[in-house]
Amino acid sequence: MSSLLNRMGCRTIALDVSETALRYGRSLFELDRRHRMDLNPQFLVFDGYTFSLHDETVDRIICFDAFHHVPNKQDILREMYRVLRQGGKVGFSEPGLEHSKSPMSIYESETHGVLESDIDLGEFIRMAQDVGFDDVLIKPYPPPERIAFSVPEYLRFVGGENAVFPLDVIREDLKCNTNVILGKGKAVRDSRRPNVLKARLKIVGEGPKPLKPGQPYVFRVEARNLGDTTWLSKPDAVGGIVNLGAHLYNARNEALDLDYGRGHLSRDVHPREEQRVSISLVAPPEEGVYYVELDMVCEMICWFGQRGSNTIRERIEVV
């Protein structure tokens, strides 16, 4: 799980009671060059009671097919709540009732001493709410191979005939598999997972006079946050920070450089706030008329212009 998340660009902390398992996990990361070691993946031994993490320091927790092996469930829910930031979420994927009576569970329990318990959803929700979680979502994820449409069924379903969808498959799967997301407080949108990215840009002062080839020049821009997402300013290898960016076009409107430059925010910008940003650029090496398009960019996610935000286009001349 941590391997997949790391390769998707997430900063991961793997917890396990087994030092051997953690050692194998770290070796996997180091041997496979697809892993992003610059994200500093961590592998922490878990003593069965507490997480060696500070309060409110993680955004998400995934507990995959593990919670039904835990004897002190409410204690662990309390630890999860403690280390989650406000707006954080923890996702569980667990077997449902009667799991402990399956032949494989009985074999694991009798042969290896594995604790096999059932997850009673009502009891689980009560425990979660008792420790402070205030949002509970139950997610149906039936096996994909059990949901498929023939061509006539597909046409009937998209045409509005709801009865074609196999609700009995979802209903039966919910009895056997428990997929739950618990939320802690109200989520605060920031540019790591943005919603509305919208800016009003205004150039402050005069634009550059005719430039010599290779001459440095500067645009000073007033950027106002018109969206609902806080723009983060601190550099981060996982992306999600906001900068002022520039594209360069020639006189025929052909793109010459879509990463022509960056100007950096000095602090985070909350919705309805504004900040002045300077972006330093270098004139193209050849004479001619060019156009510089200025736009905010949420690094490794998108340009604001791709979300419908207005940009500024300025003419420059190299002589």
Identify the helix (H) or strand (E) that includes residue 169: helix 167-176
- Per-residue pLDDT at 251 exceeds 90: yes
| SS3 label, residue 43 | strand
| Same-domain check for residues 206 and 262 | yes
pLDDT at 99: 82
| SS3 label, residue 17 | coil
0.85 surpassed by pTM: no
DSSP secondary-structure letter at 159? T
Domain limit, last residue, from 152, 183, 214? 183
Q: Among candidates 255, 246, 263, 258, which has minimal Cα distance to 313?
A: 246
Distance, in Å, from the CA atom of 203 to the CA atom of 186, rounded to the nearest integer, reads: 36
Domain limit, last residue, from 123, 158, 183? 183
The tens digit of pLDDT for each residue in 190-246 reads 999 999 999 999 999 887 889 999 999 999 999 999 999 999 999 988 899 999 999
Range of the domain at 169: 47-183
Structural domain contains residue 34: no
Give me the percent of the chain exceeding a pLDDT of 90: 80
pLDDT at 245: 98
**What CATH number does the domain containing 228 carry?**
2.60.40.10
**Phi and psi dihedrals of 110, rounded to 5?**
-75, -35
| Same-domain check for residues 133 and 257 | no
Written as one string, the DSSP assignment of 215-270 is -EEEEEEEEEE-SSSBBB-S--TT--BEEEEEEEEETT--EEEEEEEEEE-SS-B-
Alpha helices in 113-159 (DSSP H): 121-131, 151-158
Q: How many residues does the chain have?
A: 319
Domain count, the chain: 2
Structural domain contains residue 176: yes
